[in-house]
């Protein structure tokens, strides 16, 4: 069966692209589309053609799984040129989504329509490339230089309605049947006697992108695709269409060969693979119609907001009326922000607050909930007390979840009479915005409870990653370790500001000491107190962090932490901090280059990540990558720490660790998995199961 069907009636040829799940433009589709266009050109009974997609969308883009492999004929630019050069008019009828190569096919058509609610975009830069099938040359001819540049460099889609205003499409279809709407419009166009109207022969756009380019360069932090894509768009103003196409191709090839492209595509597939868990394949999740949330502080209120936005009613229990009122206010403010961003309409906001959200102080109110999430203080004693009470009020079969950041979920489950129903759901702050959800499967967690947690993640629009029980699970456990490596450098003479700068230059959104200021230095202090009993005699305490804490410098919330925020919301470097740090040092100081800072930071991260995978806390290296991309500001174009480690070389990381161990062989102990892979010349990628790709 050809992936492009050809059907003719009433002089209208309908070319249907049918390549589930997203009609990606694989080699077979490209060849079949080219054949179908030739057939239409030669078909004397056909006067106009419509290209549309079968199933839920038009065309999801180039086949990403072909990237990095040798190109196979016919090329997409050639197929699109054949569409554009066809002497009879060809219409693109778009529904659902038209992305990347899919939208480029539409740009090559002579007329374009879209159904209401359709999304149209050129997201190539998010995959480290640029639209390489004429998008950078045709789009500016249709919508103007600035609008095209913005769309291509951001990768963000537009709605059909905005596309109509911009001149990207010519017509908005009616109803919900794309085929009927397309046939009806094609018949109208035929009646009007329209002819082929090649986009490539339209007038070249004019204008200048140098300001946009300078702005983008400044905030790119090393990412190359958006700026390069702008250069391709700019070429449309000065070059002929044919030369512009050649320039686009040259820049496209350049990007295709970068490690950034490989990193971004790894990220794309990894974040889809984490949801596929063999242990829950075929297991039906429990039904969830109502959520219970215990504790309405930062996290509880965020989790409740996330559930409400997803259409799940919530009962939230706090300690007293005042706290319940504060929780309701936080949720109302979160929803107001969603209204302001255009994500929620005001009527629905009112319903969510007045009907879907119930706040209470009595645990009995939780009895009807199907899944209960505890988000009270981070203390085993408090959590165990809460779980004992939940055990008494929750209905049989309800799932009992904890949002703990570090604590032992098995020990929490142990105080209930139903440990099989207990699981960890580790949300990230702000919980209604951050996409990551670590799903912590405890010793006795039943498989259908795990399946329920994954189903809930899907419903909330989260990216779920399975984690096992240990102190800090995947993300926070690894974080503790590389934070310690950073603290050691500060103890040995590096300034916290130099470390932050080097880490930002690597591509992280923030350096570790900026993160401390955001989280609050009291959190780190409390964690050190909690773990005081486990301290090894050779562990090196971050005495400077204690000094800042005792000086009342708790971070942003007190206007001073590592940085001074009193007259600059971004924070200024402060000599007082440097003085406190210097006084707290006990060993001789030395210099650290940026390169050494990054080497130590990354070696510690990868080493602990290798232990996390080796211990089975993370199922695969790609699970670690997704946690870091979505929870810890790791630069997406580097693919995640494990993908980065493969490109840097596991043997080099091992050599770095052995070099650092000469000074401190207590902290720098190579993870067995890292040693094993490096000795074999293998990669972390070899452990990412092939059947999930």
Residue 405 as a binder of ligand NAD (CB under 6 A): the answer is yes
Backbone angles phi, psi at 119, to 5 degrees: -110, 130
CB of 429 to ligand NAD, least distance (A): 3
Backbone angles phi, psi at 368, to 5 degrees: -80, -5
- The number of residues that bind ligand NAD (CB under 6 A) is 23
CA–centroid distance for 347 within its chain = 30
Residue 64 interacts with, from ligand COA, ligand NAD, none (CB under 5-8 Å by kind): ligand COA
Residue 317 interacts with, from ligand NAD, ligand COA, none (CB under 5-8 Å by kind): ligand NAD
CB of 122 to ligand COA, least distance (A): 8
Residues 72-111 that bind ligand NAD (CB under 6 A): none
Residues 12-31 that bind ligand COA (CB under 6 A): 21-22, 24
Residue nearest to ligand NAD (CB): 297
Residue 314 as a binder of ligand COA (CB under 6 A): the answer is no
Residue 299 as a binder of ligand NAD (CB under 6 A): the answer is yes
Q: Kindly report the CA angle at 627 between 623 and 632, in degrees rounded to 5?
A: 155
Q: Are 4 and 32 in contact (CB under 8 A)?
A: yes
Residues 360-379 that bind ligand NAD (CB under 6 A): 375-378
Q: Are 449 and 423 in contact (CB under 8 A)?
A: yes
CB of 127 to ligand COA, least distance (A): 6
Residue 619 as a binder of ligand NAD (CB under 6 A): the answer is no
The β-bridge partners of 91 are: 50, 111
Choosing from 144, 198, 259, 297, the residue that interacts with ligand NAD (CB under 6 A) is 297
Choosing from 3, 53, 60, 496, the residue that interacts with ligand COA (CB under 6 A) is 60
Provide the H-helix boundaries in 376-520: 380-393, 409-413, 447-460, 475-491, 496-506, 512-519
Choosing from 16, 403, 675, 683, the residue that interacts with ligand NAD (CB under 6 A) is 403
Choosing from 224, 246, 283, 323, the residue that interacts with ligand NAD (CB under 6 A) is 323
Residue 317 as a binder of ligand NAD (CB under 6 A): the answer is yes
Token representation of residue 220: 């790119």
Beta strands 12-17 and 4-9: pairing type?
antiparallel
Catalytic option among 47, 78, 84, 124: 124
**Would you list the DSSP string of 400-447?**
EEE--SSS-HHHHHTTSS-GGGEEEEEE-SSTTT--EEEEE--TT--H
Choosing from 3, 77, 89, 123, the residue that interacts with ligand COA (CB under 6 A) is 123
CB of 618 to ligand COA, least distance (A): 19
Cα dihedral 630, 636, 642, 643 sign: positive
Residue 135 as a binder of ligand COA (CB under 6 A): the answer is no
Is 247 labeled as catalytic in the residue annotation? no
Nearer to ligand COA, 12 or 64 (CB): 64
Is 124 labeled as catalytic in the residue annotation? yes
CA distance 36 to 32: 6
Find, among 461, 463, 422, the residue nearest to 276 by Cα.
463
For 611, residues 6+ apart whose C-beta sits below 8 A from its C-beta are 671, 672, 673
Stretch that binds ligand NAD, among 422-430, 455-463, 488-496, 629-637 (CB under 6 A): 422-430
- The DSSP secondary-structure symbol of 561 reads S
Residue 64 as a binder of ligand COA (CB under 6 A): the answer is yes
CA distance 389 to 294: 11
Q: Which residue is it, tokens 């950073």?
A: 486
Residue 124 interacts with, from ligand NAD, ligand COA, none (CB under 5-8 Å by kind): ligand COA
Catalytic option among 66, 84, 104, 254: 104
Distance of CA 662 to CAs 67, 473, 668, 671, Å?
42, 29, 9, 16
CB of 14 to ligand NAD, least distance (A): 51
Rg of the chain, C-alpha, whole Å: 28
Nearer to ligand NAD, 357 or 494 (CB): 357
Cα dihedral 142, 145, 151, 153 sign: positive
DSSP 3-state of 684: helix
Find, among 177, 191, 185, the residue nearest to 50 by Cα.
185
Residue 222 interacts with, from ligand COA, ligand NAD, none (CB under 5-8 Å by kind): none
CB of 401 to ligand NAD, least distance (A): 11
Nearer to ligand NAD, 374 or 656 (CB): 374
CA distance 584 to 118: 59
Beta strands 111-114 and 399-402: pairing type?
unpaired
Residue 63 interacts with, from ligand COA, ligand NAD, none (CB under 5-8 Å by kind): ligand COA
Interface mask toward ligand COA for 481-520; x: CB under 6 A: ----------------------------------------
Backbone angles phi, psi at 50, to 5 degrees: -120, 130
Q: Which residues are catalytic?
A: 104, 124
Q: List interacting residues with ligand COA (CB under 6 A).
A: 21-22, 24, 60-65, 97, 99-101, 123-124, 127, 272
């Amino acid at each position: 069966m050809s992936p492009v069907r050809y059907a003719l009636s009433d002089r209208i040829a309908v070319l249907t692209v049918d390549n589930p799940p997203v009609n990606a433009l694989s080699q077979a589709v490209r060849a079949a589309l080219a054949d179908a266009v030739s057939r239409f050109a030669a078909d004397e009974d056909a006067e106009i053609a419509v290209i549309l997609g079968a199933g839920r969308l038009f065309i999801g883009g180039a086949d990403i799984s072909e990237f990095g492999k040798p190109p196979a004929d016919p090329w997409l630019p050639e197929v699109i040129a054949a569409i554009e050069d066809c002497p009879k008019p060809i219409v693109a009828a778009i529904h659902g989504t038209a992305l990347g190569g899919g939208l480029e096919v539409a740009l090559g058509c002579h007329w374009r329509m879209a159904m209401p609610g359709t999304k149209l975009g050129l997201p190539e830069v998010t995959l480290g490339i640029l639209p390489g099938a004429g998008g950078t040359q045709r789009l500016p001819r249709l919508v103007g230089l600035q609008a095209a540049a913005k769309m291509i460099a951001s990768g963000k889609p537009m709605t059909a309605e905005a596309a109509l205003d911009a001149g990207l499409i010519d017509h908005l279809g009616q109803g919900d049947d794309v085929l009927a709407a397309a046939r009806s419009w094609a018949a109208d166009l035929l009646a009007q006697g329209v002819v082929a109207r090649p986009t490539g022969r339209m007038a070249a756009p004019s204008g200048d992108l140098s300001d946009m380019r300078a702005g983008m360069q400044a905030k790119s932090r090393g990412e190359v695709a958006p700026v390069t894509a702008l250069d391709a768009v700019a070429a449309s103003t000065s070059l002929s269409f044919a030369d512009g196409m050649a320039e686009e191709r040259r820049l496209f090839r350049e990007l295709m060969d970068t490690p950034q492209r490989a990193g971004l595509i790894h990220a794309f597939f990894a974040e889809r693979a984490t949801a596929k868990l063999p242990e829950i394949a075929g297991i039906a999740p429990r039904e969830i119609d109502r959520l219970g949330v215990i504790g309405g502080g930062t996290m509880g209120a965020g989790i409740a907001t996330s559930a409400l936005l997803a259409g799940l009613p919530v009962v939230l229990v706090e300690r007293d009326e005042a706290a319940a009122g504060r929780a309701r206010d936080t949720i109302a403010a979160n929803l107001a922000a969603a209204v302001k961003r255009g994500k929620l309409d005001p009527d629905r906001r009112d319903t969510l607050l007045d009907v879907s959200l119930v706040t209470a102080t009595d645990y009995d109110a939780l009895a009807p909930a199907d899944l209960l999430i505890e988000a009270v203080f981070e203390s085993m004693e408090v959590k165990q007390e809460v779980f004992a009470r939940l055990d008494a009020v929750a209905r049989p079969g309800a799932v009992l979840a904890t949002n703990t950041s570090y604590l032992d979920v098995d020990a929490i489950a142990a105080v209930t009479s139903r440990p099989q129903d207990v699981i960890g759901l580790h949300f990230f702050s702000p919980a209604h915005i951050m996409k990551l959800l670590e799903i912590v499967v405890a010793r006795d967690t039943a498989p259908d409870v795990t399946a329920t947690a994954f189903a809930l993640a899907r419903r909330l629009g989260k990216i779920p990653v399975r984690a096992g029980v240990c102190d800090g699970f995947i993300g926070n456990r690894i974080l503790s370790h590389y934070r310690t490596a950073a603290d050691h450098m500060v103890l040995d003479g590096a300034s916290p500001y130099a470390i932050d700068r080097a880490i930002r230059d690597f591509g992280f959104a923030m350096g570790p000491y900026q993160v401390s200021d955001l989280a609050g230095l009291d959190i780190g202090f409390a964690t050190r107190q909690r773990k005081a009993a486990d301290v090894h005699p050779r562990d090196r305490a971050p005495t400077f962090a204690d000094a800042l804490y005792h000086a009342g410098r708790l971070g942003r919330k007190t206007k001073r932490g590592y940085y001074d925020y009193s007259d600059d919301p971004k924070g200024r470097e402060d000599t007082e901090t440097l003085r406190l740090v210097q006084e707290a040092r006990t060993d001789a100081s030395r210099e650290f280059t940026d390169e050494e800072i990054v080497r130590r930071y990354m070696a510690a991260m990868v080493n602990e990540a290798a232990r996390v995978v080796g211990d089975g806390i993370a199922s695969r290296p790609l699970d670690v990558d997704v946690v870091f991309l979505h929870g810890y500001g790791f630069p997406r174009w580097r693919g995640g720490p494990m993908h980065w480690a493969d490109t840097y070389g596991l043997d080099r990381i091992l050599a770095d660790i052995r070099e650092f161990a000469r000074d401190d062989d207590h902290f720098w102990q190579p993870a067995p998995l890292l040693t094993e892979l490096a000795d074999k010349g293998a990669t972390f990628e070899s452990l990412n199961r092939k059947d999930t790709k």
